[in-house]
């Protein structure tokens, strides 16, 4: 910048050189991730990459990449490491993934945590050479806490907000999912936990086989 200031004093007001200097100074003042086209790629090169969740038959696994902003999860060939299918990619630093395979390796549940206290579940079924996504978010019941359980108390902190967790695949092919809402404050907490068993038709529509909910309150 000292060199630029020195040159500035020796060029004319309408000089093309001065115009170039203005552009150069503006460029230098930009944040690094905007000023350098390759900066975002360089950042992602420092991402934490991990291979996990091998399928029961040993054919598949998942590769996750957690950069400062970009988060991805890919289905890969477990032996060669070749990418077979991108499952998800989001530009959000608060996202984390978890996977629960079905015993037949033809289905898996993907849990996507988005910050705190939110997590959703989607199911993927093998269809030909790929896995087809079935979104569960709008097809699952809620775990709401009735006002009568609050008894007029304030619960300012939400520890979990209809947090969806894939728990187990049953032998009949159904999936057990829990939905949890927990609030706390002033030495007390209330939890509502719903447990559902789901089955799926070929069109991807979800059918709820069983659904139950339990409430638990605690006082310090």
SS (H, E, C) 136-181: CCCCCCCCCCCHHHHCCCCCCEEEEEEEEEEEEECCCCCEEEEEEE
Q: pLDDT 10s per residue in the chain (220 long)?
A: 433 343 333 334 444 444 443 333 443 443 433 333 444 444 456 899 999 999 999 999 999 999 998 999 999 999 999 999 999 999 999 999 999 999 999 999 999 999 888 999 999 999 988 999 998 878 899 999 999 998 888 888 999 999 999 999 999 999 999 999 999 987 899 999 999 999 988 777 899 999 999 999 998 7
Distant-in-sequence, close-in-space partners of 4: CB < 8 Å, separation ≥ 6: 21, 24, 25
In a domain, 33, yes or no: no
Q: Are residues 81 and 98 in the same domain?
A: no
Counting every residue written for the chain, the total comes to 220
pLDDT (0 to 100) of residue 31: 42
Q: Are residues 195 and 213 in the same domain?
A: yes
Burial (0-12, 13-18, 19+ Cβ within 10 Å), 175:
buried
In a domain, 19, yes or no: no
In a domain, 31, yes or no: no
Range of the domain at 99: 94-220
Q: What is the pTM of this model?
A: 0.77
Distant-in-sequence, close-in-space partners of 203: CB < 8 Å, separation ≥ 6: none
Q: Are residues 58 and 119 in the same domain?
A: no
In a domain, 16, yes or no: no
In a domain, 36, yes or no: no
- Put residue 214 in one of left, alpha, beta given phi > 0 → left and psi -120 to 50 → alpha: beta
In a domain, 2, yes or no: no
Looking at 73, 92, 111, the residue that finishes a domain is 92
pLDDT (0 to 100) of residue 205: 83
Q: Are residues 103 and 137 in the same domain?
A: yes
pLDDT (0 to 100) of residue 202: 74
* DSSP of the chain: -HHHHHHHTTS-TT-HHHHHHHHHHHHHHS-HHHH-TTHHHHHHHT-EEEEE---TTSSEEEEEEE-SSEEEEEEEETTT--EEEEEEEEE-TTEEEEEEE-TTSSEEEEEEEETTTEEEEEEEEEETTEEEEEE-TTTSPP-PPPHHHHTT----EEEEEEEEEEEEE-TTS-EEEEEEEEEEETTEEEEEEEEEEEEE-TT--EEEEEEEEEEEEEE-
Q: How many domains does the chain have?
A: 2
The answer to whether 163 and 119 are in contact (CB under 8 A) is yes
Looking at 34, 58, 92, the residue that finishes a domain is 92
In a domain, 151, yes or no: yes
Q: Are residues 81 and 160 in the same domain?
A: no
Q: Are residues 102 and 191 in the same domain?
A: yes
In a domain, 49, yes or no: yes
Q: Which of 121, 129, 217, 106 lies closest to 177 in space, CA to CA?
A: 121
pLDDT (0 to 100) of residue 93: 92
Q: Are residues 128 and 203 in the same domain?
A: yes
pLDDT (0 to 100) of residue 219: 84
């Amino acid at each position: 910048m000292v060199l630029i200031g020195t040159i500035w004093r020796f060029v004319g007001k309408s000089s093309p050189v001065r115009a170039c200097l203005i552009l150069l100074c503006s460029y230098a003042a930009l944040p690094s991730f905007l000023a350098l086209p390759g900066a975002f790629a360089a950042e992602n090169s420092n991402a934490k990459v991990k291979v996990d969740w091998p399928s029961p038959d040993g054919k598949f696994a998942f590769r996750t990449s957690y950069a400062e902003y970009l988060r991805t999860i890919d289905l890969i060939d477990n032996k060669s490491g070749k990418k077979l299918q991108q499952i998800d990619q989001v530009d959000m630093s608060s996202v984390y993934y978890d996977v629960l395979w079905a015993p037949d390796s033809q289905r898996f549940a993907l849990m996507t945590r988005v910050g705190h206290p939110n997590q959703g579940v989607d199911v993927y079924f093998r269809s030909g050479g790929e896995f087809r996504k079935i979104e569960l978010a709008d097809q699952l019941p809620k775990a709401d806490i009735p006002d009568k359980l609050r008894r007029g108390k304030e619960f300012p902190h939400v520890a979990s907000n209809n947090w969806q967790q894939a728990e187990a695949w049953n032998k009949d092919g159904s999936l057990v999912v829990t939905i949890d809402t927990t609030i706390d404050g002033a030495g007390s907490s209330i939890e509502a936990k719903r447990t559902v068993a789901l089955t799926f038709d070929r069109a991807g529509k979800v059918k709820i086989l069983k659904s139950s909910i339990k409430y638990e309150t605690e006082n310090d």
